[in-house]
Amino acid sequence: MSSSPPPPLQIHNHLLPNRSSHLASTTDSNNNPSPPPPQPQEVPLLTHARQSIPPNFTLRQIPGKGTGVITTIPILQNTAVGDYIGEILTHEEKDRRYLPSRAVDQTMEDKAWIQSRIDREQTLTGTYVYGVTVPDDDPPLYVDSEDEDVGGWTRFLNHSGDLGGCNLVPKSVHESWDGKPRVWFVAKRDIEAGEELCFDYGDGYWLEGDVVA
């Protein structure tokens, strides 16, 4: 049975502006060299999602983008680099919990879920929800990695619309070996050590007025 294409993976809402951190030093009018751009800084591993980072990858603060993932080893094309882990939500659950227009329909379970996020200082943006590919007749399913106590390290993968910078591609199945949906990332090309791991979020992710690189 054919499958419908997945909605775009939604991960970060703090990516803009998305500009390269590898800028050459410039000089001022007196020919004095300007300081080099800030280098990526390490990110404290304070949550489950951050602590799940594999030993060959590292979380860094990327200038102009926020938290990102850097590989410390080369990765061959078509290598599976990691799964997108999180809570499994139905379409109804996703809408009731994240859409203000559906707040009136929230169940006691929804309200407890929301309060748990608030109590643990987790965000409620709805921008980390991935729509899994499902058969045409099946109801939509989503993986939500926003909660850092539940999600994994791939929630920190940043966007790149540049053909050279976009080095990962997401894949999904509605039922994996354990009967649950699975979302994972595969190397789109050979990746060198030191590169940031990125993929294209897709046109459907961005809001009107966003500046996308």
Q: What is the pLDDT of residues 9-43, one digit of tens each?
A: 333 333 322 323 333 333 455 566 665 555 556 66
Q: Which of 22-31, 33-42, 57-66, 96-105 has the lowest mean pLDDT?
A: 22-31
Confidence of residue 164 (pLDDT cuts 50, 70, 90): confident
d(CA 132, CA 144): 11
For residue 210, tell me if it sits in a domain.
Answer: no
Closest CA to 158 of 24, 19, 7: 19
- The strands making up 57-62's β-sheet, listed across from edge to edge, are 41-42, 57-62, 66-71
Could you read off the pLDDT of 176-211 as tens digits, one per residue? Answer: 888 899 999 999 999 999 999 998 886 545 333 333
**Whole-number pLDDT of residue 54:** 95
Across residues 168-177, what is the average pLDDT? 92
For residue 27, tell me if it sits in a domain.
Answer: no
For residue 128, tell me if it sits in a domain.
Answer: yes
DSSP H/E element including 110? helix 108-119
> Number of structural domains, the chain?
1
- Answering whether pTM is above 0.85, one says no
**Whole-number pLDDT of residue 38:** 54
Q: Which of 8-22, 44-58, 143-157, 197-211 has the highest mean pLDDT?
A: 143-157
Domain that holds residue 138: 41-204
Q: What's 165's domain CATH number?
A: 2.170.270.10
For residue 34, tell me if it sits in a domain.
Answer: no
For residue 126, tell me if it sits in a domain.
Answer: yes
For residue 61, tell me if it sits in a domain.
Answer: yes
Closest CA to 169 of 192, 186, 156: 186
For residue 32, tell me if it sits in a domain.
Answer: no
For residue 116, tell me if it sits in a domain.
Answer: yes
